[in-house]
């Protein structure tokens, strides 16, 4: 098969592109390297079935050229940060809404039959009902969540109007190798790990009792592949199916690293969701997805990757 991976130099996208190449597919990575990193795909540079196109999903002609002859598109490119969206909602809208619309239009123009796209659990907001189910009414708290919800709606419309099979995977809290800890808006696990390995205390925004439903990037890659290969369409939660507090997470990482510091607590950040827990039964019913990697196993692998200098 010939697959397009937008955002393929990013955290999830590079892991996905690597797996597709390993499975002998032809892969075209599209990334403008604004948050993706060239070093994430350096090991694929000489691969005979991998091509890299440097450019943004906001560039429709570039996308149409890249998508010609593709069997499917994995759309991972996005500004994937709640705080950044709060600081700059216009930029988030341009990339996340406009970029997703461009990807769907390129699929239509090129006759690509299926698009599997990254969405987010942030769409549920602070609805007090747990676990989160795909049938729940959206309650977005940030421009990022709104932008992802708009992408899902566009996906449904393109499926209905143009016959493109669209799948939107609502990722919960993804972690693993290649996740960037250096951004001001980095996710909690790489931030915790790099501070601990630097002999510094982890920083928690809030009281640390907020909970997250973590899932390893390896399982997220598996979910994308299963969704593309199956006859599924619609919206699906992709998560571990259990939750843990940030205080508990810090404690587990302290045991794994052997470095113990009391966390530093800062005020909560606007737009952050308090608690998170997914019902993942719909993804299992549609394409037999369930996570294989436990949180502790995934954290050990991630700590080892950071200790090895990100290699």
> Where in the sequence numbering do the catalytic residues fall?
144
Tokens 């619609």 -> residue = 234
Dist CA 181 CA 5 (whole Å) = 22
| Contact in structure between 77 and 58 (CB atoms under 8 Å) | no
Provide the terminal-to-terminal Cα distance of the chain, rounded to the nearest Å.
Answer: 28
What are the DSSP calls for 197-261, one per residue?
HTT-PPEEESSS--EE-EEEHHHHHHHHHHHHHSS--EEEEES-S--EEHHHHHHHHHHHHT---
Structure-token pair, residue 72: 């499917």
Distance (Å) of CA 267 to CA 92, 102, 203: 24, 38, 10
**CA torsion 26→98→142→237, rounded to 10°?**
-40
| Contact in structure between 271 and 144 (CB atoms under 8 Å) | yes
| Contact in structure between 55 and 33 (CB atoms under 8 Å) | no
Helices (H), ranges, the chain: 11-22, 60-67, 82-87, 89-92, 99-110, 143-162, 188-197, 217-229, 246-257, 281-287, 295-307
Specify the 3-state DSSP secondary structure of 64.
Answer: helix
Distance (Å) of CA 293 to CA 92, 216, 220, 243, 299: 31, 7, 10, 14, 10
């Amino acid at each position: 098969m010939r697959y397009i991976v937008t955002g393929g130099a990013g955290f999830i996208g590079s892991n996905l592109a690597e797996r597709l190449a390993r499975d002998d597919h032809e892969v075209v990575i599209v990334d403008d390297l604004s948050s993706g990193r060239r070093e994430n795909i350096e090991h694929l540079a000489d691969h005979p079935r991998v091509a890299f196109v440097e450019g943004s999903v906001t560039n429709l002609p570039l996308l149409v050229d890249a998508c010609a002859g593709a069997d499917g598109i994995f759309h991972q490119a996005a500004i994937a940060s709640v705080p950044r969206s709060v600081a700059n909602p216009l930029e988030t809208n341009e990339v996340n809404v406009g970029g997703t619309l461009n990807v769907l239009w390129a699929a239509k123009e090129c006759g690509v039959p299926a698009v599997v796209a990254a969405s987010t659990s942030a769409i549920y907001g602070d609805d007090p009902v747990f676990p989160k189910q795909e049938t729940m009414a959206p309650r977005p708290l940030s421009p990022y969540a709104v932008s992802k919800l708009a992408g899902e709606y566009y996906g449904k419309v393109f499926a209905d109007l143009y016959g493109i099979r669209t799948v939107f995977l609502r990722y919960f809290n993804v972690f693993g190798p290649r996740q960037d800890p250096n951004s001001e808006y980095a996710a909690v696990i790489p931030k915790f790990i790099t501070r601990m390995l630097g002999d510094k205390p982890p920083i928690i925004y809030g009281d640390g009792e907020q909970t997250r439903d973590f899932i390893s990037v390896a399982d997220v890659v598996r979910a994308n592949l299963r969704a593309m290969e199956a006859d599924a369409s619609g919206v699906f939660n992709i998560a571990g199916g259990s939750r843990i507090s940030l205080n508990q997470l810090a404690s587990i990482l302290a045991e794994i690293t052997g470095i113990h510091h009391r966390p530093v607590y800062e005020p909560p950040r606007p737009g952050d969701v308090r608690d998170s827990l997914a019902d993942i039964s719909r993804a299992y019913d549609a394409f037999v997805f369930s996570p294989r990697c436990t949180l502790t196993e995934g954290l050990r692998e991630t700590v080892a990757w950071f200790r090895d200098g990100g290699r």
